[in-house]
A and B are shown apart, each in its own frame.
Chain A
Amino acid sequence: QKEVEQNSGPLSVPEGAIASLNCTYSDRGSQSFFWYRQYSGKSPELIMFIYSNGDKEDGRFTAQLNKASQYVSLLIRDSQPSDSATYLCAVGGGADGLTFGKGTHLIIQP
């Protein structure tokens, strides 16, 4: 059984600060790692994907992957109130779908 673990939160961060979201996964054979953002009542929206160890940056978002530790993280710099949402970590390796964590609820305080 593949598992993806996230702290459910809520994680409260002041506006303008860095939000740090973490995720661990059980399947060492996993090759693809994704962060989705989901607003209440909406569908998941892709924020970042990463395949190789190290950091990947896109605007205010940085994804970090450490396959040896089976650990994925998402950093959000200069956090804005519009970043308040649930962030889903997802892990997969092929056409058989993704395994999702339960999500971390992030609150950016103005």
Chain B
Amino acid sequence: NAGVTQTPKFQVLKTGQSMTLQCAQDMNHNSMYWYRQDPGMGLRLIYYSASEGTTDKGEVPNGYNVSRLNKREFSLRLESAAPSQTSVYFCASTSTSGSQNIQYFGAGTRLSVL
């Protein structure tokens, strides 16, 4: 049981390049999330998908797009990377049935944009 799997673990991009961060969960969760974490800033929500077929903006969506490919997979795309997008990106998922709404996190993707 892998939980939440993110790929790649590390990536270096040049300004203007594009890339897609992949996330998959095997817990049959309804909701999935993308956060970024910068030094001293905590985690900030980029986009989320409350259920398959829906996506919504979070606190810091500018410069990103997402796709909820199916119930398991939620990808984050940077169309034209900027140095300000250097960060650690975490994907998370949660089951919205019941009252717990506990989020489980992947191992993260460390992205550097030069």
Which of B43, B56, B100 interacts with A88 by CB under 8 Å? B43
- Per DSSP, chain A at the interface is loop
Within 8 A of A (CB), among B30-70: 30-31, 33, 35, 40-45, 48, 50-51, 56, 58
Asked whether B20 is an interface residue with its Cβ less than 8 Å from the other chain, the reply is no
The binding surface of chain B is classed by DSSP as: loop
Q: Is the CB of A98 within 8 A of B42?
A: no
Given contacts A95-B30, A95-B94, A97-B33, contact A51 B42 (CB under 8 A): no
The answer to whether the Cβ of B102 comes within 8 Å of any Cβ in the partner chain is: yes
Judged by a CB distance under 8 angstroms, whether B74 is at the interface is no
Q: Which B residues lie within 8 Å of A44 (CB)?
A: 43, 90, 105
Tell me how far the C-beta of A32 lies from the nearest C-beta in chain B, rounded to whole angstroms: 5
Contact of A102 among B30, B42, B103, B106 (CB under 8 A): B42
Residues 58-88 of B at the A interface (beta carbon under 8 Å): 58
Closest chain A residue, CB of each to CB of B40: A102
Mask of A90-107 contacts with B, CB within 8 angstroms, 1/0: 101011111111110000
User: How close is B66's CB to chain A, nearest CB, in angstroms?
Assistant: 13
CB of A103 within 8 A of CB of B31, answer no
Partner of B42, one of A43, A46, A88, A94: A88
Interface positions of B (Cβ within 8 A of A) = 30-31, 33, 35, 40-45, 48, 50-51, 56, 58, 90, 94, 96, 99-108
